[in-house]
Structure 1
């Protein structure tokens, strides 16, 4: 895919179409990490780790399944 920059105020912008955003799993408000590798511009989602919601959901499942056993081990 070949793209050109577009004027946006005093800056230039690269427009990313919705199908591309969906393919890489980003949304309008997703923080992006921009790095330069040689003469290549690399744009990746900045939220590389697991979100807080997923962590809390996983902990809840673990407590339901392993809570009593963990309490016995703690004693």
Structure 2
């Protein structure tokens, strides 16, 4: 009787451990999916910001070239 009770306890412990590990794996998979989604969102935002920065950089360059304040100092040297 004792032996069969021990076998039953061992089987229950093994099943419990299997269930615990399966739940842990599923939780880790969900965490990985969430992190992967966040990485994709950050990459997308990064590309958008890079594009906006290029547009702003070009706009600033255009403003600077159109303004006499930001012209090269060569013209000042020629006046002397």
TM-score scaled to structure 1, two decimals? 0.29
Structure in which a larger fraction of residues adopt strand: 1
Larger RCO, structures 1/2 (Cα 8 Å, 6+ apart): 1
Structure in which a larger fraction of residues adopt helix: 2
TM-score scaled to structure 2, two decimals? 0.28
